[in-house]
Amino acid sequence: MTIFTWYGHATHGLETDGYKILVDPFFSGNPVASTALEEVAADFILITHGHDDHLGDTISIANRTGALVISNFEICEWLANRVPLTHGQHLGGGFKHPFGYLKLTLALHGSALPDGSYGGNPAGFLLTTNLGKKIYLAGDTGLFGDMQLIGEEGLDLAVIPIGDNYTMGPDDALRAVKLLNSKTVIPIHFGTWDLIDQDPAAWAARVEKETTTKVVVLKPGETYNL
């Protein structure tokens, strides 16, 4: 079984085959974080892009837990003397990690690091777990037509932003669901601040009326098993 946890905003966790994977760990300064920074466990940390609300507490968690940080090459170079272990990949490239096969996917966004350093291109992740589940973590992105190619992989779960302003809003996220054709979708990157406030139940109703994808709306701290 794979357990997905939403910690609020774009911070989420996957527990699969005994491994704890933390994605975009933004806890300190996150007004909706469901868990205290000191309590978070991780064997691996995945970073989609360099922005503060995604890189977040990576450095402190990686140093406390010894987790391997996986991101694009540029972010891994920037982190190399700040955390114990990194593994750089890049768009379109996959690698067989202990928890499954992880590929970096396109994302339409920015990726500057907190000190203004170049953070390479932003990414999403496509994970094939050791148990054969396909999970797409979109990261921060606008809608793009090649989501259809990701959908052709046969997705069990897609985790996508719906907040608008910085990423896809509800209308484009609905179009994304049609391209991704995932069995299940979980919306994130909304409700953190007024600027990205959305009604996830209303969005879920639209998606389920117009597609065959099931929407799972979580509250920060809630989990979904797949």
Nearer to Ni ion, 9 or 51 (CB): 51
Cβ–Cβ under 8 Å, residues 187 and 200: yes
Distance of alpha carbon 11 from alpha carbon 220, whole angstroms: 9
- Residue 15 binding partner per list Ni ion, Mn ion, none, with a CB distance cut-off of 5 to 8 Å that depends on partner kind: none
Chain-centre distance for alpha carbon 109? 14
| Residues 193-212 close enough to bind Ni ion by CB under 5 A | none
- Residue 24 binding partner per list Mn ion, Ni ion, none, with a CB distance cut-off of 5 to 8 Å that depends on partner kind: none
Site string for Ni ion, 26-65 (x = CB under 5 A): -------------------------x--------------
At closest approach, how far in Å is the CB of 51 from Ni ion? 4
Nearer to Mn ion, 15 or 24 (CB): 24
Angle between helix axes 200-210 and 170-180 (nearest 10 degrees) is: 40
* Number of CB atoms found within 10 A of residue 222's CB: 14
What is the three-class DSSP state of 1? coil
Nearer to Mn ion, 139 or 151 (CB): 139
Site string for Ni ion, 135-154 (x = CB under 5 A): -----x--------------
How do beta strands 11-16 and 2-8 pair?
antiparallel
Nearer to Ni ion, 56 or 100 (CB): 56
| Residues 137-166 close enough to bind Mn ion by CB under 5 A | 140
Q: Is residue 24 close enough to count as binding Ni ion by CB under 5 A? A: no
* Number of CB atoms found within 10 A of residue 61's CB: 22
Cβ–Cβ under 8 Å, residues 100 and 17: yes
Site string for Mn ion, 98-137 (x = CB under 5 A): ----------------------------------------
Distance of alpha carbon 129 from alpha carbon 160, whole angstroms: 19
Cβ–Cβ under 8 Å, residues 86 and 71: yes
List interacting residues with Ni ion (CB under 5 A).
Answer: 51, 140
List interacting residues with Mn ion (CB under 5 A).
Answer: 53, 140
